[in-house]
Amino acid sequence: MRPRVQPKDPSPETQAKMQERAQRLTKRQYVRFAFYKVDPMWRRLPAEEQAAHKQELLDVIESFNRRMLLRPYSLIGTRADAELLLWQIAESPLPFRELASAIACTRMGSYLNMAHSYLSQTKRSIYEIRTAGAADEDEEERLVIDPTEAKYLFVYPFIKTREWYQLSQYARQGMMDEHIDVGRKYPSVRLNTTYSFGIDDYEFIVAFETDEPSDFLDLVQELRETSVSMYTLQDTPLFTCINMRLDEALDALGGPAIAKVLEPGAQDEIWMEVCPLDELGPGETKTVFLEGKMVGLFNVNGELFAINNRCTHARGPLTEGEVSAEACSVVCPWHYGKFDLRTGAAIDGVVNKPVDTYQVEVRDGLIYVGTTITYS
Ligand code: FES
């Protein structure tokens, strides 16, 4: 075992800064990891029934795309007790219940067993995440889940020993520093930490995104050697999940294929109805989920604009920023990076990457937001 790291005593300035950030960053997201397994009886149904069941389930799940950020993953071939994961992120837990009920009401729903279910929230860490040379925005990013297109997701629930919580904050911070330093050695692995104290059986649900499973394996093995590892009570079951489109993930369950056959490079236009035009007046903003991204809609003097709602600096919520009608721009509320609402260009402050823009149309008094996706 490595020697314990000496605890650090945060300076008064650091403590004041942490408190200020704690007040500013209060909005949390709810997160659900719903793992399903198909009853083997379903695989004995006639092929046409299986196809109809999958199509119905696909339509029901996709109808929730507007209300939550929903990512499907397949576990066929990686795990015995679960075959499909629906990773759900929303501003409230209510859409999770509605989606679960809607799935249960489908014909395929009666053949779907809930293998595992985890409920959690994003939350600002009580530890100072920053290490020498690292950006202090990392901590703030943790308040917002913004899944990448990484091919693999590794998910597990986590409980620490009660002895851990009896240690002083400074002692824990010292050990966390060592843990964080190991994590930074594996930049290809992106961590999403969520908290489930009091709302589910565990303390944390962690989800690691990467294209390189070997890097994740090496990271986990190296973390076993850190001091903080001595205080782990439970970190299983561990799920290896493969990112794919929902129609492909349903086809992986069995039965005739319903997934669209798409050549690499093929493009599709996706449009989503948002709301009646009179529900988004001049000066108002709204968010909507489209193709796994949170899109911010802005009405600037009657003209509508749509951009990715996550600031490219540290995922700040742009619809909560200050809009300038004259400059047609928005200033991120977290560190004041400024974006052009027409082009998404980063035009001032700490930001240097543009945000994606989306198409907006009004049809018969209803606002639609759209995007073109290219299949790989
Ligand atoms: S999150 Fe830092 S400027 Fe937006």
CATH number, domain containing residue 272: 2.102.10.10
User: Which band of pLDDT confidence, cut at 50, 70 and 90, is reported for residue 139?
Assistant: low
User: Which band of pLDDT confidence, cut at 50, 70 and 90, is reported for residue 269?
Assistant: confident
Distance CA 98, CA 116 (A): 18
In a shared domain, residues 140 and 287: no
Domain stop point among 235, 261, 287: 261
User: Which band of pLDDT confidence, cut at 50, 70 and 90, is reported for residue 26?
Assistant: low
In a shared domain, residues 171 and 314: no
In a shared domain, residues 334 and 243: no
pTM (two decimals): 0.82
Cross-strand pairs, 367: 275, 362
Domain stop point among 261, 280, 296: 261
Mean pLDDT of 142-162: 91
Expressed as residue numbers, the domain containing 76 is 1-261
CA of 223 from ligand 1 middle (Å) equals 30
DSSP code string of 122-153: ----SS----TTS-TTHHHHTTS------SEE
In a shared domain, residues 317 and 220: no
In a shared domain, residues 196 and 296: no
The answer to whether residues 358 and 270 touch, using CB atoms and an 8 Å cutoff, is no
Using the predicted structure, report yes or no on whether residue 217 has a pLDDT greater than 50: yes
In a shared domain, residues 161 and 79: yes
Q: Return the pLDDT at 232.
A: 97
In a shared domain, residues 132 and 10: yes
Q: Return the pLDDT at 12.
A: 64
In a shared domain, residues 57 and 145: yes
Q: What is the pLDDT of residues 279-321, one digit of tens each?
A: 999 999 999 888 888 899 999 999 999 999 999 998 889 999 9
Using the predicted structure, report yes or no on whether residue 107 has a pLDDT greater than 70: yes
Pocket probe for ligand 1: among 124, 137, 143, 318, the residue whose CB has the most ligand atoms within 8 Å is 137
Using the predicted structure, report yes or no on whether residue 134 has a pLDDT greater than 80: no
CATH at residue 251: 3.30.70.3420
Pocket probe for ligand 1: among 313, 318, 331, 339, the residue whose CB has the most ligand atoms within 8 Å is 313
Distance CA 23, CA 19 (A): 6
**Nearest atom of ligand 1 to the alpha carbon of 349:** 3
In a shared domain, residues 359 and 281: yes
Using the predicted structure, report yes or no on whether residue 11 has a pLDDT greater than 50: yes
In a shared domain, residues 133 and 227: yes
Least confidently predicted of 3-7, 57-61, 198-202, 361-365: 3-7
In a shared domain, residues 277 and 245: no
- Which distant-in-sequence residues (6+ apart) come within 8 Å of 120 by Cβ? 30, 31, 32, 33, 194, 195, 196, 199, 200, 202, 204, 205
Residues with CB under 6 A from ligand 1: 137, 311, 313-314, 316, 332, 334-335, 337, 350-351
Mean pLDDT of 345-365: 95
Q: What is the pLDDT of residues 156-174, one digit of tens each?
A: 999 999 999 999 999 999 9
CA of 175 from ligand 1 middle (Å) equals 28
Domain stop point among 261, 284, 308: 261
User: Which band of pLDDT confidence, cut at 50, 70 and 90, is reported for residue 263?
Assistant: confident
Percentage of the chain exceeding pLDDT 90: 75
Pocket probe for ligand 1: among 334, 338, 348, the residue whose CB has the most ligand atoms within 8 Å is 334
For the chain, the domain total comes to 2
In a shared domain, residues 99 and 219: yes
